[in-house]
Structure formats: C-alpha cells, structure tokens
Amino acid sequence: MAVVKSLLYLFIYPGILFLFVYSVFCEWFDRKLYARLQNRIGPAYAGFAGILQPVADFLKLLFKEDIIPENADRSIFSALPVVGLAIVITAGLYLPLWYYNVDMTTFNSFEGDIIVVLFLLSLPTLVLFLAGWHSTNFFSTIGGTRVLTMLFGYEVPLFLAVLSPAIVADSWRLAEISYFYQRFPFLLLFQIIGFFVAVIALQAKLERTPFDIPHAETEIVGGTFTEYSGKKLAFFRLMTDIEMVVGSGLIAAVFMAGFPGGVVAGLIRFIVKTLIIIALLSLIRAACSRIRIDQVVNFSWKYLTPFAVLQLLISIFVKGIIQ
C-alpha cells in the first residue's frame, strides 16, 4: 500500500499529471485575468472561455520544427529544458498536500524540506543562464547574463521572507510550519510584510513584468529563448508555469497556513490559495511596466531586502514573546 501511495504521489497527485494540468490551468487563469485587467478578452476560442488555449499552445510547439543552432553545444542545449522541467516538478513533490497530521507525511516530508524547495527553485535560474550561454547567440547571451544578474537581487529577500515564518514556528519542515499556523492563525498577522516581499520576489524569479528584462522582446528579441523552438521551447514554457504553481504553493504553505484536511479538502484549499497569489502576480503584471536591470537590483537591495530583514526581526521578537 505504501508503494502504491508513493506512486500515486509521484505520478498523479501532486505529481507530474496534476502539476501539468493545474499549471496550464493557472496559465489560462493568469492570461485571462491579465487581459481583463487591461480591458481585453484574453483566450476565448480553444475550449470553454479559452480554457484549453495553453494546452493548444503546448501541443502546437511540440509539433513545430525543432532547430538547434549550428555553433551550439547540442547535448547541453537539448538537455537543459528537460533538466529545468525535472527540477521544478521535484520541488512540487515536497509541498505537503495530502494530510496535516505531521506523522502522516513522513514519506514526502522531513526536517529542512523548506530549504530543499528554496534551493530547487533557485536552480531554474541557473538553467536559464546556461541555456542562453550555450545558445551562442548574442541576444541569448545578454538574456542569460540578465537572468543571473537579477538572481543576486531577489534571491536574498525571498529566502529571508520565506524563512521568517519558520523561525516563529521553530521548524524547518513545511508540514510543521503550516500545522503551527493552523493552530495559531493570529500569528500570521505578524508575517504580512514578509508575504508581500515573497510575492514580489516570486514575480522577479518568474521574470514577469516589470521584471521581464531577461527576455524583453523589444530589446533583445527573446533573450534566453531566442534560439529555442519546438518541444524545447514548450518544455521551458511548461517549466515556468509549474514554477509559478510551486512558488505560489510554497508561499501559501508558510504564509497562509497551508492546505489542511484530506486529499479533497487539501486540494480545494491548495487551488484557492494559489489562485489568490497568482491573481496578485497578475495584478502586479498589469499595473507595472518593464524596468531596467539596474533598477531591479537597486529595488531589491533598497526596498525588498530591508523589508525582509525587518520581517525577520519581527519574527525573532514574536518568537521571543511566545516562548
């Protein structure tokens, strides 16, 4: 029974199948909401209200011609989309989605898993840098360099913000952190600053407006993805969608008391809470215009990092009081 449960967890829920289905749904939700915020219609023809448009786009890319630049390293160029997709799927498997009796999540939960998820979510940035670098294209190289430059801006405040609730909960295990805030939900009021820092940092990690400098079409064609086409580009797009779901799930787990209940109740709470976070990401995307790479770094170190440090100090103070 344990083997069957593990296989279901790996391949069905919250494994590969669920992450694929839900990530393309979230892409539709994001595109639809973003369009409505700009007084546009958005996806409308593939399926009801255009809900199948992301699937149609993915399938279309799978059957398009797959071109590898003549001077590119063929093996690395081809492997990076698959590696990036595998990384974000693995990160998603550590989100505690089945039960919140901590003893019942031992097969996918351990002390320090929050660090593992943050580490895994950092690796796609390196994958994108290598993808741009090994494309041997001028625009791709610039895009890859921008990806790596931005990393030094948003990564520190993101880590500080996400780890602040862990300090109050006195645990580095996602299931225990969520369970702690289910018992003491009023303590989440002291994590509001960190929540918004994490959401903005996630927006930068996903390279969404106003932080979409690494692939700014009007400046560097497509940046990192300039030379990618066909199924490789499809895998990169799917990687980004799943990364958005996993990042939103991580924020919901530590700042919104997770997803308590059994499989069904946990699924409903997971969908509702992640969609709330994605809606905030869409709002930021619709309200802001693209900024320069130096402005991203300055904004991160002048505003996001000080607020993240402030949140960390508040968490330490609250921890001292409740002890």
Give mean pLDDT in consecutive 10-residue pieces for the chain, a chain of 323 residues: 74 86 95 91 87 92 85 85 94 80 58 92 92 83 87 90 93 91 92 96 91 80 81 92 96 92 85 96 89 86 93 91 79
| Domain ranges, ordered by start, for the chain | 2-322
CA distance linking residue 55 with residue 316, whole number of Å: 45
Per residue in 231-245, pLDDT (tens digit) is 999 999 999 999 999
Residue-wise pLDDT tens digits, 93-123: 899 887 545 454 445 778 889 999 999 999 9
* pTM for this predicted structure: 0.92
List % helix, strand, coil for the chain (3-state, nearest 5).
75, 0, 25
Closest CA to 213 of 303, 97, 114, 300: 300
